[in-house]
């Protein structure tokens, strides 16, 4: 059934753990849905839809049957000194350039927000939040065409703030604090006595609290049960909501993405990455994405098949107590790759040469390990080869994989383990590569991807993910302060945070300032993320001893004062 109307029973499937969510690129052809049995269809847009089917239909043959892309990707969560480093305070000291984000929306799609925190209130105790869509609370007051969650308006939030028990009126909270942190850095009120300064304190907020991923999907990709992560389809609906609110209010919006994943082709061509680029190209819109914190995690391998031996040997060290994990090998076209496997005890699985798409399950005699391998010879979105390996109960020690390719094609391949939190820190590649570790959404072409640096000594954050994308797209574009940044905490105090999420939030505040100048003040009314990116690149501070762009810093350090200084001098 299509979701022009949706019964309560059909809506129940969206939230139920008994139903799986399949992400389908139907491209306007609704006949595609006829292949699914006992299915409820939830249309996202003309291109994409969610098909809800009983979770009993999901098994080890799901990918070979419907393709890798149908399983929603799982995404995890990735000071005043920072304002000075980025030139914000210098800019505000210039008459007519006291830019604070007035008239601009900041969109946060994450773990929610503590709307009772004073940094999100106006002086009269009213809220700076235009609306909250809490996907975790089931009600009949959901945004149009979503059929799940509950939307809370500014009036409802203000009513709650005047109440002795706000959560009785608006029960939306942020138990984790990640979304509150992002929102505070980007657009929180200034609290000088705590050394806290939001970058765009006069901007208003639109917030999506994402619902946690369903159990079946975490089990399929072997993500630990206690890890909080979010599904690709809920992020797509969240983006639709943020842009719909901005359109309804006729306001520019800067959207902060502080989530990432090491799954996928890292080429910007996945369903959500493609959609994120479309949103980023929208006039009056800035989309800012955190690069990720995977640079020194040792969970990426790059190899090229030795043309003499015909293979390249990959050594994977699995730590004690590792329950399971997935691992993805993406081959560069037009290469064709295959693998053999040797366990830590010496058991050998001969080279498996795939014939088109297939799934194989491998068991070992002397070890409990089971490996399910999916071969996708031409993965539908990247058109490259994918070998997905899911290790259940992997034995501790060194696993060896020989990766084979055609001798007449000098093609390379990348392998990624899951991101931090999805796998033990004690599982890693022995000969790892810190580059091409930008997390999946950060490889999207049009958004601005941000890495983190220390504004005290201008040093790159050691854990920051590094570029470029797998197909050579220049990522990250810019570096922003991301070490020891003061941010609001869940107990309504403040703490110092470090990472590329904090840098992305800082840059989102800068984006709001640019949108105020460009759209609200009418200087460049149709500014989008691509225009914004050019401004940021032109104004970036660069070390004369270094060549730019590069895979660590992109085009240099964000400097909003220099952006406007260049504009003044060119007039």
pLDDT in tens, 63-79: 999 999 999 999 999 84
The number of beta carbons lying within 10 Å of the beta carbon of residue 431 is: 11
Distance CA 155, CA 16 (A): 30
pLDDT tens digits, 240-254:
999 999 999 999 999
What is the share, in percent, of the chain residues with pLDDT greater than 90? Answer: 81
Q: Find the mean pLDDT for residues 449-467.
A: 95
Question: And the tokens for 209?
Answer: 């609290």
Q: Could you tell me the two tokens for 329?
A: 């090998």
Considering the domain architecture, whether residues 308 and 242 belong to the same structural domain is answered as no
Is 155 among the domain residues? yes
Q: Are residues 47 and 86 in the same domain?
A: no
For residues 551 and 466, is the Cβ–Cβ distance under 8 A? Answer: yes
Q: What is the pLDDT of residues 367-412, one digit of tens each?
A: 899 999 999 988 888 889 999 999 999 999 999 999 998 766 778 9
Confidence check: pLDDT of 571 > 50: no
Query: pLDDT tens across 170-183, in order?
Result: 999 999 999 999 99
Q: What is the DSSP letter of 333?
A: T
Average pLDDT, the chain: 92
* Domain encompassing residue 309: 300-429
Q: Are residues 318 and 460 in the same domain?
A: no
Average pLDDT of 227-247? Answer: 97
Which backbone phi and psi does 233 adopt, to 5 degrees? Answer: -65, -35
So what's the pLDDT on residue 84?
56
Residues 36 and 103 in one domain: no
Residue 400 inside a domain? The answer is yes
> Average pLDDT for residues 12-29, to the nearest whole number?
94
Closest CA to 252 of 274, 232, 227, 282: 282
> Distance (Å, rounded) from C-alpha 233 to C-alpha 187?
27
329 and 468 share one domain: no
Nearest to 285 by CA among 259, 257, 255: 255
* 3: pLDDT strictly greater than 50: no
Identify the helix (H) or strand (E) that includes residue 12. helix 8-15
Residue 67 falls within a domain, yes or no?
no
Query: Do residues 143 and 251 share a domain?
Result: yes
Give the model's confidence band at 88: pLDDT under 50 very low, under 70 low, under 90 confident, else very high.
low
Assess if residue 68 is contained within a domain: no
122 in the same domain as 245: yes
The secondary structure of the chain in percent helix, strand, coil, rounded to multiples of 5, reads 25, 30, 45
What gap in Å lies between CA 436 and CA 264, rounded to an integer?
12
Q: Angle, nearest 10°, between helix axes 529-539 and 560-570?
A: 90
Give the range among 17-26, 28-37, 278-287, 384-393 with minimum mean pLDDT.
Answer: 28-37
Contact yes or no for 312/329 (Cβ under 8 A) = no
Query: Do residues 87 and 208 share a domain?
Result: yes
Q: Are residues 473 and 371 in the same domain?
A: no
Residue 451's DSSP bridge partners are 479
pLDDT band at 142 (very low <50, low <70, confident <90, very high): very high
Residues 281 and 361 in one domain: no
Three-state SS string over 339-382 comes to EEEECCCCCEEEEECCCCCEEEEEECCCCCCEEEEEEECCCCCC
Q: For 58-67, 406-415, 441-450, 503-512, which range has the lowest pLDDT when averaged over its residues?
A: 406-415
Query: Cα-Cα-Cα-Cα dihedral of 552, 518, 277, 298, to 10°?
Result: 20
What is the average per-residue pLDDT within 447-458?
A: 95
For the chain, how many structural domains are there in total?
Answer: 3
| 504 vs 482: CA distance, rounded Å | 8
Question: Is the same domain home to 95 and 156?
Answer: yes
Tell me: the pLDDT tens digits for 344-369?
Answer: 999 999 998 877 788 999 999 888 99
Query: Cα–Cα distance between 357 and 205 in angstroms, integer?
Result: 46
Burial of 445 (0-12, 13-18, 19+ CB in 10 A): buried
pLDDT exceeds 80 at position 86 = no
Model confidence at 81, pLDDT cuts 50, 70, 90, reads very low
CA neighbours within 13 Å on the CB side: how many for 3? 26
């Amino acid at each position: 059934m299509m979701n022009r109307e949706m019964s309560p029973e059909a809506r129940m499937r969206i939230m139920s753990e008994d139903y799986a969510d399949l992400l389908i690129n139907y491209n306007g052809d609704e006949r595609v849905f006829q292949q699914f049995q006992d299915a409820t269809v939830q249309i996202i847009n003309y291109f994409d839809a969610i098909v809800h089917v009983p979770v009993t239909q999901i098994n080890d043959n799901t990918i070979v049957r419907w393709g890798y892309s149908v399983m929603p990707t799982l995404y995890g969560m990735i000071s005043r000194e920072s304002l000075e480093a980025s030139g914000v305070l210098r800019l505000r000291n210039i008459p007519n350039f006291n830019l604070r984000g007035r008239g601009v929306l900041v969109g946060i799609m994450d773990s929610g927000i503590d709307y009772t925190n004073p940094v999100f209130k106006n002086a009269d105790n009213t809220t700076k939040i235009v609306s909250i869509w809490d996907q975790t609370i089931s009600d009949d007051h959901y945004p149009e065409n979503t059929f799940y969650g509950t939307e809370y308006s500014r009036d409802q939030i203000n009513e709650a703030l005047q109440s002795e028990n706000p959560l009785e009126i608006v029960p939306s909270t942020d138990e984790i604090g990640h979304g509150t942190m992002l929102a505070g850095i980007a657009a929180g009120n200034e609290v000088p006595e705590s050394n806290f300064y939001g970058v765009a304190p006069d901007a208003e907020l639109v917030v999506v609290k994402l619902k946690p991923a369903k159990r079946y999907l975490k089990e399929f990709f072997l993500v630990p049960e206690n890890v909080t992560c979010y599904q690709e389809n809920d992020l797509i609906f969240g983006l639709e909501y943020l842009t719909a609110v901005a359109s309804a209010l006729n306001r520019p919006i800067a959207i902060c993405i502080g989530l990432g994943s090491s799954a996928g082709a890292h080429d910007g061509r996945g369903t959500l990455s493609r959609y994120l680029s479309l949103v980023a190209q929208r006039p009056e819109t800035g989309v800012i994405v955190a690069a990720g914190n995977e640079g020194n995690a040792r969970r990426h391998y790059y190899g090229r098949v030795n043309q003499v031996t015909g293979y390249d040997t990959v050594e994977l060290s699995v730590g004690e107590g590792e329950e399971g994990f997935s691992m993805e090998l993406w081959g560069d076209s037009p290469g064709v790759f295959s693998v053999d496997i040797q366990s830590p005890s010496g058991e050998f699985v001969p080279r498996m040469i795939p014939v088109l798409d297939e799934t194989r399950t491998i068991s070992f005699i002397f070890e409990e390990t089971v490996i399910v391998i999916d071969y996708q010879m031409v993965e539908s979105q990247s058109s490259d080869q994918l070998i997905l390996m899911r290790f259940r109960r992997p034995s501790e020690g060194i696993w060896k994989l020989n990766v084979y390719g055609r001798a007449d094609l000098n093609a390379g391949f990348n392998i990624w383990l899951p991101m931090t939190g999805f796998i033990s820190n004690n599982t890693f590649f022995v000969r790892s590569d810190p580059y091409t570790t930008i997390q999946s959404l950060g490889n999207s072409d049009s958004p601005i991807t941000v890495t983190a640096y220390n504004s005290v000594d201008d040093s790159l954050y050691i854990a920051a993910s590094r570029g470029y994308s797998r197909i050579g797209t220049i990522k990250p574009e810019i570096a922003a302060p991301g070490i020891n940044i003061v941010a609001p905490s869940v107990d309504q105090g403040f703490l110092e945070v470090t990472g590329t999420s904090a840098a992305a939030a800082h840059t989102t505040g800068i984006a709001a300032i640019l949108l105020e100048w460009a759209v609200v003040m009418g200087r460049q009314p149709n500014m989008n993320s691509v225009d914004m990116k050019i401004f940021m690149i032109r104004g970036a501070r660069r070390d004369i001893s270094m060549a730019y762009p590069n895979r660590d810093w992109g085009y240099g350090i964000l400097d909003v004062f220099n952006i406007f200084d260049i504009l003044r001098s060119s007039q």
